[in-house]
Homo-oligomer: A and B are copies of this chain.
Amino acid sequence: MSRFQSFDDAASPAQGTTRIPLLRGELARRGLDGFIVPRADEHQSEYVPANAERLSWLTGFTGSAGTAVVLADRAALVVDGRYTLQAAGQVDTGLIEIVPLADKSAEAWTEANLGQGGVLGYDPWLHTAKGVEALAKAVARAGGRLVPTEGNPVDAIWTDRPPGPRAPVTIRSPELAGESAEAKLARVREKLAKERVQALVLSDPHNLAWTFNLRGADVAHTPLALGYAVVPADGRPTLFLDPGKLTNETGDVLGALADLAPPDALAGALAQLGAAGAKVRFDQGTAASALIEQLRKAGGNPDNGSDPITLLKAVKNGAEIAGARAAHLRDGAAVTRFLHWVDREGPGGGVSEIAAAEALERFRAETGALRDVSFPTISGSGPNGAIVHYRVTRATDRNLMPGELYLCDSGAQYEDGTTDITRTVAIGEPSAEMRDRFTRVLKGHIAIATALFPKGSSGAQLDAFARRPLWQIGLDFDHGTGHGVGAYLSVHEGPQRISKLGHTALEPGMILSNEPGYYKTGAYGIRIENLILVEPREVGGGERPMLGFETLTLAPIDRRLIETALLSAAEITWLDAYHARVQHKLSPLLDEATRGWLGNATRPIG
């Protein structure tokens, strides 16, 4: 039993069989030759509310990324490499062609298939300005025309479409937030003045949550309240939130900070800014094209750039850091109880991936503080562990088996912090190759954990530290080494990251993951993930202001998978010190049996 995750695949290919023709009828009525259906909501969020799951409702495809293009005589679903197989199983391929993104983007497929004079519709609330621009170019090259729709044609045929989410908004306590919304707004206004814009449109609900110290429950796994705000460089902000989400109390708190208005009123506010000829900053990653057009049509000057709040939010304050430490202590104890349970139950061969994910959620729930999992647990045994973004369903479920590896990547949302941890453990006896690969991944993990680097360095400069031990024997992994993590917010937060594309300078207070891996297709997957906090470092005799990482995550790393001979003395020192800290910090929180098991699991290897 899981409260926060489902392992069922409710969707079926038959959905598309009936719904694609319905949509074509609707398009014909509107004089459209085609329509594009992205997997997106009005805020480009990672998790979207049920009423925005148009792609899955229309086609049966439940992946987290993908775009359908429906024309009168053909249709395509463009998905990335993670989802080509899944999509082929989930949609009616007689009606919908599966197009791998590596072969053709949705834009390129449209260009090749729309036809001269074709009119393609798009919902301007579900695309950014950049997205519309790329689409417009492709449609123009095809000799067609791109037009925004009034309302979404899918909604017109989706008769039992759920209502928009209306989860109650909660106010974050000053103890957890660490900075008042007033102070945050003052810092935001400073940025706006510096960048010479008259106002900022807050379209990213994560930034809304941070700025106003509010949280919600409108989508799964991330405590967002969907809504908007307009923050002028001078004067009072307006917060656009469904009044149904507010109680008298929360309304009073927020009303002290900002004018409150329903989301519908945003159009009027933009028209007013437009009429004044204002230069208004939109966040290019999350602002819907429709918003920008509302300002432009009213005579305003849209400035598509980055929302300055994104960087402010990334740097955690003292209260948020204290919260993160407390969350990781609690979470580490729950994960340790889970690892003990896996060690006891797994080798018998009777534990399924789903049962394991459920057990882990149960251990976390038993802390009494679990608000949600921070993403669907990746619970992969044997070959399933090699699928980087694996999500177990009843159809793919298999048992943990002796002689195999079990990879579990999971996280929790507690009010004081968001966690994300991956442990890979041996079920029974691992092979020498597994031990070699695991140890190399561990060496990469330690290279990040122990890195010192000058202030101003970016994650791009550190990324290869995590890969070198694999590179030296001709191996690698196909994902970044680390992503940013929020404070009781998204488990995937920018702009900080450790990746060759991570050019943002790391700053003290940023939280990131440290998660190198190795994946042998069809055999096993390895990933070792801890969250790390950027902190200033004093180096005796040093000349430069340096930064380093504090490892926040507390849970043992499977000693049975470590080939000690491959580790340097410094690496052994790090591992033993980490394990000593894990044992010392977690033991007081554990029952006697688990404490005994942990003592053994954290014995020095040096």
Contact = CB atoms under 8 A, between A and B. Distances in A.
A336 to B, nearest CB: 31
A544 B451 CA distance: 26
A541 B473 contact: yes
Contacts of A541: 473-474
Contacts of A460: 460-461, 500
Interface in A59-86: none
Interface string A438-476: 000000000000011110011011111100100111111
- Which of the four size classes fits the interface of chain A? 20 to 34
A568 interface: yes
A204 to B, nearest CB: 28
Contact of A500 (B461, B476, B537): B461
A546 interface: yes
A474 B568 contact: no
A346 to B, nearest CB: 28
Contacts of A542: 473-475
Nearest to A538: B474
B475 A544 contact: yes
Contact of A543 (B452, B453, B474, B500): B474
A461 B500 CA distance: 7
A539 interface: yes
* Total copies of the chain: 2
B465 A452 contact: no
B475 A453 contact: no
A546 B471 contact: yes
Interface in A557-595: 568
Interface in A456-513: 457-458, 460-465, 468, 471-476, 500
A472 B541 CA distance: 11
B474 A451 contact: no
A451 B467 CA distance: 11
A470 to B, nearest CB: 9
Nearest to A471: B452
Given A476-B544, A544-B476, A471 B458 contact: no
Interface string A527-563: 0000000000101111110100000000000000000
Given A457-B464, A460-B500, A461-B464, 18 more contacts: A451-B468, A452-B471, A452-B472, A452-B474, A453-B464, A453-B471, A454-B476, A458-B500, A460-B461, A465-B468, A471-B546, A473-B539, A473-B542, A474-B537, A474-B539, A474-B540, A474-B546, A476-B544
Interface of A: 451-454, 457-458, 460-465, 468, 471-476, 500, 537, 539-544, 546, 568
Instruction: Report, nearest first, the 8 A-B pairs whose CB atoms are least far apart.
Output: A474-B542, A474-B539, A461-B464, A452-B471, A474-B546, A454-B476, A452-B472, A476-B544
25 contacts: A451-B468, A451-B471, A452-B471, A452-B474, A454-B471, A454-B476, A457-B464, A458-B500, A460-B461, A460-B500, A461-B463, A461-B464, A461-B500, A462-B464, A464-B465, A465-B465, A473-B539, A473-B542, A474-B542, A474-B543, A474-B546, A475-B543, A475-B544, A476-B543, A568-B568
